Chains A and B, each alone.
Chain A
Amino acid sequence: MNPAVSDSLVRRVHWLVRIRWIAAVAVAVVTLTASRVLHVGVAVLPLYGISALLAGYNSLFLLYLRRAARRDSPATDRQIAGAANAQISIDLLVLGALIHFSGGVDNPFLLYFVFHMIIASILLSRRAAFLQALLATCVFAAVASLEYYGVLHHYCVDGPVSSGRHADPLFVVGIVFVLATTLYTSVYLASSIAAELRERDEKLDEANKLLIEQDCIKSEYVLRVTHDIKGHLSAISSCLEPVLEGVTGPVRPGQLNLIRRAGRRTEVLARFVKALLELTRMRLSEEIAAERFSVGDAAKDAVSYVEARAQAKSIAVDLRVADGPTDIVGARVYIEETIANLIANAVKYSPDGSRVRVTVEGTEDAVLVEVSDSGIGIPASELPAVFDEFYRASNARAVEREGTGLGLSMAKQVVERHGGQIGIESKEGRGTTVTLALPRRPSAEGRRVQTPRGLRSPQASGDAVPRA
């Protein structure tokens, strides 16, 4: 029975290992203090031995955990829980030995069994925790009775003369009874709380999953609606174009004027819908096709797409690719498009005759892409919102009415899907710099997809035209 989900289980087991390091050191320090400072009659060597033993098997267990975490042979929850169970049993035996060598039934350290019970209750299933309580009771009872019958030597903590309590049957039975009830009560209380917490964890997880699912359903709804809208827009454009081009015969200037306006607005709307579709599709897609490619080359292509627009405004697009590798694993089409979009933005909001700088630089871990312009910039108060969907800065709206407000959200989505980060710096009236940091080796985290499987609509795969 797995008491907890994998992540938290592993975390807790690591926690146990950390506590054991402290225990090993503490045993050594207390032994040293007791023997050298307080001159208590404990068996020094066995106690140092116990400290070393604790450190020794703790190292082994840490090794096991590290290997279990490795990808090629991941351990199951069951195995890790089993190992934790075994560890706690060993801990109990060691504590039994510790108590024996430092005073037997007279030893106040027997209270430490409670710690083990609490740890067991948190880490293990309830049943396993109760079994550990049984084991602890047996270990202690064994120590007490072996000392009682003189099979084991009784070490005195209270000086050279023994109190003799270890040979008093009433005391021995009493202390075993008290310890047993204490341990069982501890396990009962601690495991009740642990179970409650676990349940709450699970509920939170579930609520979270539900939220993601809801978001997915919403996205699919958006996808369906925009898809429909796009179809209608396409038909409108297809009907307007022949009229505009005179295929249906000459159109009077007054009519042409209005039809042209209608055509332009249709195009604007179509662009918006396409951007929304693309963004939603990306959000719903489970995985992006990944290949190794050079971001430097992608940037070159991106510049070439936007060149005509830049030339129309006499803007020079300056691309500098630093020496060294700029390759990453990812979807080239998306990265290319993202860079092109950023350059197109820079061109759109920069004065005629200015310069747009694009730099690509590869480091050990990441490839940095920077697109900077000396354009209108973004007001500081609006900067935090620019990555929000549909958001357009007030001054951008003043310059161009027809933006979708989706460009930067899309860039963010693309970069995040590659496990990277996007940043923006801007001063109103001075210019804007957008920086992308794309990891050379995307982590599993970055590629992890939030979309639950099996929720994709057939449309999610797009127009059935395979993407490169």
Chain B
Amino acid sequence: MAEPTMILIVDDDPDIVEAMKVVLESRGYDVSTAASGAEGLKAVERSRPALVILDVMMETGDEGFAVARKLRAAEETANIPILMLTAIKDKTGVGFEKEAGNETWLPVDDYVEKPLKPGELIAKVEELLRSP
């Protein structure tokens, strides 16, 4: 690896950002962070990350989606894979795997749930970076 792969984390929770950063950096990724959707968009503009990890809920309940749509709409950023951070399985004790696959209309490539599971995060990041 000549130049480390750059990943951008957009999330307004500094502790979760820090945890993810630690996990990703342990795998040799170069991590930059943004605390809001607007900041995130600016950061993408500036540094063109190889992957964006995007929190759904920031200042507004669907800020993450708005950012994802904007990224997809612009030609230069349309191909950056997006990993969405959600609390999608927040129902009860029983998991609902079926639901996650259903949101085809959302312009993201994959989901990862909060709270963070390091193994899962790394697996998903690696998979997204591998696919063309």
Contact = CB atoms under 8 A, between A and B. Distances in A.
Given A247-B118, A333-B96, A458-B61, A466 B103 contact: yes
B115 interface: yes
Contact residues of A: prevailing secondary structure: helix
Contact of B114 (A238, A341, A461, A462): A238
A341 B61 contact: no
Contacts of B95: 305
Interface in A263-307: 270-271, 274-275, 277-278, 301, 305-306
A458 B63 CA distance: 13
Given A235-B13, A235-B16, A241-B117, A467 B99 contact: yes
A242 B22 contact: yes
A245 interface: yes
Contact of A468 (B87, B99, B119): B99
Contacts of B117: 241
B13 A231 contact: yes
A464 interface: yes
Interface string B1-43: 0000000000001011011101100100000000000000000
Contacts of A224: none
Interface residues of B, number: 36
Interface in A454-468: 458-459, 461-468
A241 B56 CA distance: 21
B61 A277 contact: no
Contacts of A468: 98-99, 102
A14 interface: no
Given A337-B92, A344-B94, A464-B57, A230 B118 contact: no
A242 B15 CA distance: 12
B86 interface: yes
A274 B22 CA distance: 27
Contacts of B114: 234, 238
B12 to A, nearest CB: 10
B15 A238 contact: yes
B49 to A, nearest CB: 20
B91 interface: yes
Contact of B23 (A242, A274, A461, A466): A242
Given A237-B116, A247-B118, A278 B94 contact: no
A404 B71 CA distance: 41
Contact of A274 (B91, B96, B102): B91
B88 interface: yes
Contacts of A234: 13, 16, 87, 114-115
Interface string A314-355: 000000000000000000010001001100100000000000
A230 B57 contact: no
B96 A238 contact: no
A463 B92 contact: no
A248 interface: yes
Interface in B43-77: 56-57, 60-62, 64-65
Contacts of B127: none
B132 interface: no
B61 A464 contact: yes
A439 interface: no
Contact of B96 (A241, A275, A337): A337
Nearest to B87: A463
A239 B94 contact: no
B115 A270 contact: yes
Interface in A225-240: 230-231, 233-239
Interface in B78-95: 86-88, 90-95
Contact of B56 (A247, A340, A465): A465
Contacts of A238: 15-16, 19-20, 114-116
A463 B96 contact: no
Given A239-B18, A242-B22, A247-B118, A463 B88 contact: yes
Contacts of B18: 239
Nearest to B115: A237
Interface string B121-132: 000000000000
A419 interface: no
Nearest to B27: A247
A306 B90 contact: no
A377 interface: no
Contacts of A344: 93-94
A410 interface: yes
B116 A230 contact: no
A359 B13 CA distance: 46
Nearest to A410: B92
A337 B94 contact: yes
A362 interface: no
Q: Which 10 A-B pairs have the closest CB atoms?
A: A237-B115, A464-B61, A238-B116, A464-B62, A235-B15, A238-B19, A234-B114, A234-B115, A340-B94, A238-B115
Given A234-B13, A458-B61, A466-B103, 11 more contacts: A234-B115, A235-B15, A236-B115, A237-B115, A242-B23, A247-B22, A247-B26, A305-B95, A306-B94, A463-B88, A465-B56
Interface of A: 230-231, 233-239, 241-242, 245, 247-248, 270-271, 274-275, 277-278, 301, 305-306, 333, 337, 340-341, 344, 406-407, 410, 458-459, 461-468
8 contacts: A238-B114, A271-B93, A305-B95, A337-B96, A341-B92, A344-B93, A463-B57, A465-B88
